[in-house]
């Protein structure tokens, strides 16, 4: 059930000991052995009901998913005991955030008497006010009890994020940056690319938004003029006056540093050309500090292909009779997209996978973790605006290529190629977007 982790791990749940199921019975009933397959199907359906309730901020439906004496133990606060208190807890949470995207995958359900123990994976993207969206993913365990009316309800819940907590420094810089830069950090990508003469600072809109492009160009033109006049007050406000390299740039002679502004597709750039080794080194140290302070909002390369893959974000589905394949991707940050997929047959999960597309200093990589196994990396081979190709050139067997193609009708084709026992294979997956 995906009402789990979010901003600063606000929803990180810690399980308590589970009392015997009989203590919750209010209606005598002869216990009939529970079919594990049916139990899993019912619990997965209950999860989807609660996801829908969370999206609608339906506190009554959320509370009804818990037993009357269920317990949540959120970090940094007293235990939340009982259905009414849990409803108040989520009321406070949902009053301050918007659910952008959420999904869950049930991995296992073990039935014991009239209880069931579920393990699973989740993704959750939230936004607080005008702040950038925060994407999370993690794992969970839920203990369910079946009541006298054959309804499954949560007795205890534990979950934790698989995403490292954001650095406090980066949070402070993001808040100060939002007060200085007029465009949306969430909707833009910042690139600080070092060159032999200095560096290039680029800001581009992740999608072709005329408003964001206009704000980017207005701001970069303004600060380029300030920098040419050796006024670096804006970066000092965001990063501090002691920012590495900033002092040398502020005092650089006119002939030692040239600052040039120009427009580029979907954004703008500033080129910094140093005429001495000291100024070039100062630009490089300044760019390194920018990348450290901005974290996921910035990238060290002009490679903006992650932004170009924003069309992949959202939920996709293949339906074939009682079989279904689902795949979900988050919007790209400066350095990653998070994905999750599962294959179901007859309502049961037959396979699942965690995926990432990450941008690092050494390139762009597709990182696959089928069934939670150790990650496998596939470097980006090509991107032509329509088809993205990742390769595993060192593999003599099994998966060799993964392709994602955006089709003209809005659908998506994913393709995997490889070899099994020396025999080549290829499989296409024709997805439709889920509204």
When mean pLDDT is compared across 2-16, 293-307, 399-413, the lowest value belongs to 2-16
CA distances from 426 to 66, 386, 401, 416, 418 (A): 45, 19, 9, 6, 7
Q: Which residues pair with residue 120 across a beta bridge?
A: 106, 140
16 and 113 fall within a common domain: yes
**pLDDT (0 to 100) of residue 379:** 82
Mean pLDDT of 57-83: 86
Strand stretches in 267-375, DSSP E: 267-274, 298-299, 314-320, 323-329, 336-345, 348-360, 363-370
3-state secondary structure of 23: helix
Indicate if 30 and 78 belong to the same structural domain. Answer: yes
What is the tally of structural domains in the chain?
3
pTM of full prediction above 0.75: no
- The answer to whether residues 118 and 201 belong to one domain is no
My answer on whether 122 and 21 are in the same domain is yes
Across-strand partners of 282?
none
Q: Which residue has the tokens 């980006």?
A: 380
Which candidate, 108, 99, 87, 103, places its Cα nearest to that of 43?
A: 108
Evaluate if residue 74 carries a pLDDT over 90: no
Ranking 20-34, 58-72, 195-209, 212-226 by mean pLDDT, the lowest is 20-34
Q: Which residues does 352 contact at the CB level (< 8 Å), separation at least 6?
A: 105, 107, 121, 340, 341, 342, 343, 370, 371, 372
Tens of pLDDT along 228-284?
999 999 999 999 888 999 999 999 999 999 999 999 877 899 999 999 999 999 999
Mean pLDDT (whole number) for 180-202: 88
Q: Phi and psi of 35, rounded to 5°?
A: -70, 120
What is the pLDDT at residue 216?
Answer: 95
- pLDDT of 421: 75
Are 106 and 118 a contacting pair, CB within 8 Å? yes
Tell me, yes or no, whether 297 and 311 share the same domain.
no
337 and 215 within one domain: no
Same-domain status, 111 and 212: no
Q: Looking at the chain, how many residues does it have? A: 435
pLDDT score, position 15: 34
Task: Give the tens place of pLDDT for each residue, 273-316.
Answer: 999 999 999 999 999 899 888 876 777 765 556 777 888 999 99
The verdict on 282 and 352 lying in the same domain is no
Q: 3-state class of 316 per DSSP?
A: strand
> Is the same domain home to 336 and 430?
yes
**pLDDT at 17 exceeding the cut of 70:** no
Other beta carbons within 10 angstroms of residue 126's beta carbon come to 23
**C-alpha R_g of the chain:** 25
Tell me, yes or no, whether 1 lies in a domain. no
Tens of pLDDT, residue by residue over 90-116, are 888 888 788 888 888 899 999 999 999
pLDDT for the residue numbered 378:
87
pLDDT at 48: 92
Write down the residue that tokens 């393709």 correspond to.
Answer: 415
Q: Are residues 136 and 153 in the same domain?
A: yes
Q: Around 129, how many Cα atoms within 13 Å sit in the side-chain half-sphere?
A: 4
Distance (Å) of CA 6 to CA 12, 59, 122, 125, 411: 8, 18, 11, 7, 30
Q: What is the rounded average pLDDT of the residues 159-177? A: 75
Confidence at residue 64, expressed as pLDDT on a 0 to 100 scale: 95
Report the C-alpha gap between 137 and 63 in whole angstroms. Answer: 23
Which of the two residues, 372 and 114, has the higher pLDDT score? 114
Instruction: Give the tens place of pLDDT for each residue, 373-401.
Output: 888 888 877 666 678 888 885 554 578 88
Last residue of a domain, one of 134, 161, 188: 161
Q: How far apart are CA 137 and CA 6, in angstroms?
A: 9
Q: Is 48 exposed, middle or buried (0-12, 13-18, 19+ CB in 10 A)?
A: middle
The residue range of the domain holding 181 is 168-302
**Residue 338 neighbours by CB distance under 10 Å:** 25
Q: Tell me the pLDDT of the chain averaged across its residues.
A: 83
Q: Is the pLDDT of residue 68 over 80?
A: yes
- Segment 17-42 shows an average pLDDT of 66
Distance between CA atoms of residues 330 and 299, nearest Å: 18
> For the segment 123-158, what is each residue's pLDDT rounded down to a tens digit?
888 877 666 567 777 889 999 999 888 899 999 998
Read off the CATH number of the domain in which 418 is found. Answer: 2.40.128.20
DSSP 378-401: EEEEEE-SSEEEEE-TT-SSEEEE
Which residue has 């999904």 as its token pair? 103
Residue 138 sits in the same domain as residue 17: yes
How much is the pLDDT for 139? 87
Q: In what order do the strands lie in the sheet with 98-112?
A: 80-81, 66-72, 152-161, 134-146, 115-127, 98-112
pLDDT for 24 equals 47
- CA 111 to CA 129: how far, in whole Å? 41
290: Cβ contacts below 8 Å, ≥ 6 apart: 190, 192, 201, 235, 239, 298
CA distance 333 to 355: 15
CB under 8 Å, gap of 24 or more: what pairs does 231-236 form? 234/180, 235/286, 235/290
**How many Cα neighbours within 13 Å face the side chain of 388?**
20
Which of 161, 196, 215 delimits the end of a domain?
A: 161
Residue with tokens 């830069």: 181
């Amino acid at each position: 059930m995906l009402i789990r982790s979010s901003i600063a791990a606000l929803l990180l749940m810690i399980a308590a000991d589970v009392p015997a199921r009989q203590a919750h019975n209010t209606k005598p009933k002869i216990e009939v052995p529970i079919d594990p397959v049916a139990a899993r199907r019912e619990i997965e359906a209950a999860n989807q009901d609660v996801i829908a309730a969370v999206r609608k901020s339906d506190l009554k439906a959320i509370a009804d998913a818990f037993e009357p004496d269920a317990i949540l133990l959120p970090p940094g606060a007293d235990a939340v005991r009982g259905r009414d208190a849990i409803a108040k807890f989520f009321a406070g949470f949902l009053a301050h955030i918007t659910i952008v995207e959420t999904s869950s995958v049930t991995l296992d359900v073990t039935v014991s008497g009239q209880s069931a123990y579920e393990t699973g994976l989740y993704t959750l993207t939230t936004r607080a006010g005008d702040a950038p969206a925060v994407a999370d993913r993690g794992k969970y365990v839920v203990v369910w009890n079946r009541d006298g009316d054959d309804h499954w309800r949560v007795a205890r819940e534990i979950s934790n994020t698989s995403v490292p907590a954001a650095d406090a420094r980066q949070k402070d810089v993001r808040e100060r940056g939002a007060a200085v830069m007029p465009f949306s950090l969430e909707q833009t990508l910042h690139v600080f690319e070092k060159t032999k003469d200095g560096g290039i600072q680029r800001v581009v809109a992740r999608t072709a938004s005329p408003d964001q492009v206009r704000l980017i160009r207005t701001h970069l033109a303004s600060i380029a003029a300030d920098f040419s006049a050796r006024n670096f007050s804006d970066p000092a406000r965001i990063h501090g006056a002691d920012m590495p390299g900033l002092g040398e740039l502020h005092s650089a002679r006119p002939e030692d540093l040239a600052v040039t502004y120009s427009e580029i597709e979907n954004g703008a750039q500033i080129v910094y050309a140093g005429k001495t080794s000291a100024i070039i080194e100062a630009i490089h140290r300044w760019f390194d500090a920018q990348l450290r302070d901005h974290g996921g909002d910035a990238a060290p390369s002009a490679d903006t292909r992650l932004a170009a893959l924003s069309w992949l974000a959202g939920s996709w589905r293949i339906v074939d009779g009682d079989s279904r394949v689902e795949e979900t991707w988050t919007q790209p940050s400066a350095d990653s997209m998070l994905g999750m997929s599962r294959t179901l047959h007859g309502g049961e999960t037959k396979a699942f996978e965690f995926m990432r597309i990450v941008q690092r200093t050494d390139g762009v990589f597709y990182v696959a973790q089928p069934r939670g196994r150790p990650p496998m990396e596939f470097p980006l081979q090509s991107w032509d605006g329509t088809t993205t190709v990742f390769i595993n050139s060192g593999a003599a067997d099994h998966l060799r290529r993964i392709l994602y193609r955006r089709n003209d009708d809005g659908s998506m084709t994913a393709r995997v190629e490889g070899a099994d026992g020396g025999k080549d294979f290829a499989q296409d997956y024709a997805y439709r977007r889920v509204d």
